[in-house]
């Protein structure tokens, strides 16, 4: 590795994807291991949008009914939730799916990430959005919620 050149990582994700939260934790742990061996390595993360639910209207729709239809029943949804909870627990993540009321269109959240990235690292914002979605049940399709998160992240 050439320490004079930063390691650029393109991250394609959506803030409503529970596996993306786990993936981010795993990536950060891997980068910590690399930095222990190569402390001069610089890393740049570039966030790219992925729309997990592109057909959802800007207003969103009820979360659980959408997932019941998508997964084929409430039992399957609960099994999927438990699978994610178990996987996330290994990385210190506490998923609270029961607090999520709205399946959101993430277009505005991706715009906010893009804006934050223009002035530096968007990681703090992305992490806060993931926490908002999966641990606080915040409506990430609501511009006022996004504005408050942006202010909170600086």
Query: Which CATH number belongs to the domain containing residue 44 in this structure?
Result: 3.40.30.10
DSSP letter string, 70-135: HHTSHHHHHHHHHHHHHHHHTTT----GGG--EEPP-HHHHHHHHHHHHTS--HHHHHHHHHHHHT
How far apart CA 52 and CA 22 sit, in angstroms, is 16
Report how far residue 102's alpha carbon sits from residue 141's, in angstroms, rounded to the nearest whole number.
9
Instruction: Quote the mean pLDDT of the chain.
Output: 95
Is 2 inside a domain boundary? no
112, 138, 142: which is closest to 126 by C-alpha? 112
Question: Rounded to the nearest 5°, which phi and psi values hold at 48?
Answer: -120, 140
Residue 15 to residue 130: CA distance in whole angstroms:
5
The H or E element that residue 144 is part of is helix 143-153
Domain, as residue range, for 102: 7-153
In this model, does residue 3 exceed pLDDT 70?
no
pLDDT digits (tens, 9 = 90+) for 52-90: 999 999 999 999 999 999 999 999 999 999 999 999 999
Q: Per the domain annotation, does 97 fall within a domain? A: yes
11 assigned to some structural domain: yes
Listed residue (55, 56, 24, 32) closest to 122, CA to CA: 24
Say if CB 51 and CB 16 are below 8 A apart. no
- Please state, for a pLDDT cut of 90, what percent of the chain lies above it: 92
In a domain, 1, yes or no: no
pLDDT band for 113, please (50, 70, 90 cuts).
very high
Q: Is the pLDDT of residue 1 over 60?
A: no
Q: How many domains does the chain have?
A: 1
């Amino acid at each position: 590795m050439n320490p004079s050149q930063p390691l650029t990582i393109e991250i394609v994700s959506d803030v409503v994807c529970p596996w993306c939260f786990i993936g981010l934790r795993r990536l950060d742990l891997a980068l910590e291991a690399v930095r222990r061996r190569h402390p001069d390595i610089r890393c740049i993360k570039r966030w790219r949008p992925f729309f997990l639910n592109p057909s959802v209207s800007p207003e969103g729709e009820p979360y659980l009914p959408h997932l019941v239809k998508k997964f084929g029943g409430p039992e399957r949804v609960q099994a999927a939730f438990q699978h994610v909870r178990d996987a996330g627990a290994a990385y210190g993540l506490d998923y609270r799916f029961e607090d999520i009321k709205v399946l959101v269109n993430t277009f505005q959240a991706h715009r906010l990430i893009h804006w934050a990235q223009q002035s530096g690292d968007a990681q703090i914002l992305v992490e806060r959005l993931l926490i908002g979605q999966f641990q606080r049940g915040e409506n990430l399709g609501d511009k006022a919620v996004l504005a408050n998160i942006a202010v909170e992240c600086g």
